């Protein structure tokens, strides 16, 4: 049920960057090691977003595979099971290269003032890219 706290953190991040504009979509990068259940996260996001600028916004998740690298021999791989030993040399001295991400990558907001900021005028939206990837939640996995 940690998806509820993640949904709340994602909502707070989106609202902080929306500048009181209605949010249409929140794009989120989630690493496999976070063990997030996508359907549960979407469900909780819809609940916590009620009566906010994110109400009705879509939550789009990009799921990232786990990537490891061996500090001893340099081999990189994507484990199919949660085994953290190098398949070449057997070392357990490995580093996680990817899979722990939980970041709001960018949000799409409605542009109320008619200025499309270089975006498609027909759909009336503006993408707000978050310059420094903001981790939505730093809770332990």
Q: What is the reported pLDDT for 118?
A: 37
Token pair for 14: 């989106």
Does the pLDDT of residue 138 top 50, yes or no? no
State pLDDT tens for residues 75-122: 999 998 878 899 999 999 999 999 999 999 999 998 865 443 434 334
Q: In the chain, how long is the greatest CA-to-CA distance?
A: 60
Query: 0.85 cut: is pTM over it?
Result: no
Class of domain 3-65+99-135: alpha beta
Does the pLDDT of residue 50 top 80, yes or no? yes
Domain segments of the chain as ranges: 3-65+99-135
Q: What is the reported pLDDT for 38?
A: 92
- Where b means 16+ CB within 10 Å and e means fewer, 93-124 reads ebeeebbebbbbebbbbebeeeeeeeeeeeee
Cα dist from 118 to 54, 103, 111, 126, whole Å: 22, 25, 11, 8
Q: What is the reported pLDDT for 113?
A: 59
Q: What percent of the chain has pLDDT above 70?
A: 78
Highest mean pLDDT, choosing among 15-19, 35-39, 48-52, 137-141: 48-52
């Amino acid at each position: 049920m940690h998806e509820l706290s993640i949904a709340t953190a994602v909502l707070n991040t989106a609202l902080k960057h929306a500048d009181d504009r209605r949010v249409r979509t929140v794009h989120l990068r989630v690493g496999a090691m976070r063990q997030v259940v996508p359907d549960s996260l979407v469900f909780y996001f819809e609940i916590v977003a009620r009566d906010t600028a994110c109400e009705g916004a879509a939550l789009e998740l990009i799921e990232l595979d786990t990537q490891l690298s061996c500090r001893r021999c340099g081999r990189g791989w994507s484990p199919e099971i949660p085994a953290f030993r190098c398949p070449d040399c057997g070392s357990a001295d490995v580093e996680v290269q990817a899979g722990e991400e939980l970041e709001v990558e960018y949000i799409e907001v409605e542009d109320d003032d008619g200025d499309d900021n270089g975006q498609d005028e027909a759909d009336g939206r503006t993408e707000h890219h978050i310059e420094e990837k903001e981790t939505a939640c730093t809770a332990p996995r």
